């Protein structure tokens, strides 16, 4: 278990990783549709494949998503649903303050 300062630093790092609109959209897509592969996310988000792959690598290295190989594809899913709650809460907060 992390002490107070370590937990604060880890929380700040988590928010930094989530500080990209594309990564937030990836989290939302995985929350809504469950497992997705790169080409499904590319189509859904309207973002090119290299960019989606780059963001998936960042999310995966932060342990926010996991990948499961299925044949030639890797199927991505959310590793911890606390992350989708953080994203949803941030979006709800912004919507409340702009209404």
What is the tens place of the pLDDT at every residue in 22-80? 999 999 999 999 999 999 999 999 999 999 999 999 999 999 999 999 999 999 999 98
Q: What is the CATH number of domain 4-98?
A: 1.10.10.10
**Residue 97 scores a pLDDT above 90:** no
Closest CA to 27 of 96, 94, 90, 98: 90
pLDDT given at position 4: 80
Residues ≥6 apart with Cβ < 8 Å to 7: none
**pLDDT of 91 above 70:** yes
Q: Could you tell me the pLDDT band of residue 2, with boundaries at 50, 70 and 90?
A: low
Q: Where along the chain do its domains lie?
A: 4-98
């Amino acid at each position: 278990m992390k002490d107070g300062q370590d937990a604060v630093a880890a929380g700040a790092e988590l928010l930094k990783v989530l500080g990209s609109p594309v990564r937030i959209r990836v989290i939302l897509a995985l929350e809504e549709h469950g497992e997705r592969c790169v080409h499904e996310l590319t189509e859904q988000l309207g973002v090119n494949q290299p960019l989606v792959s780059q963001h998936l690598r960042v999310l995966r290295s932060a342990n926010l998503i996991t990948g499961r190989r299925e044949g030639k594809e890797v199927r991505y899913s959310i590793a911890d649903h606390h992350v989708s709650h953080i994203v949803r809460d941030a979006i709800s907060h912004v919507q409340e303050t702009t209404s």
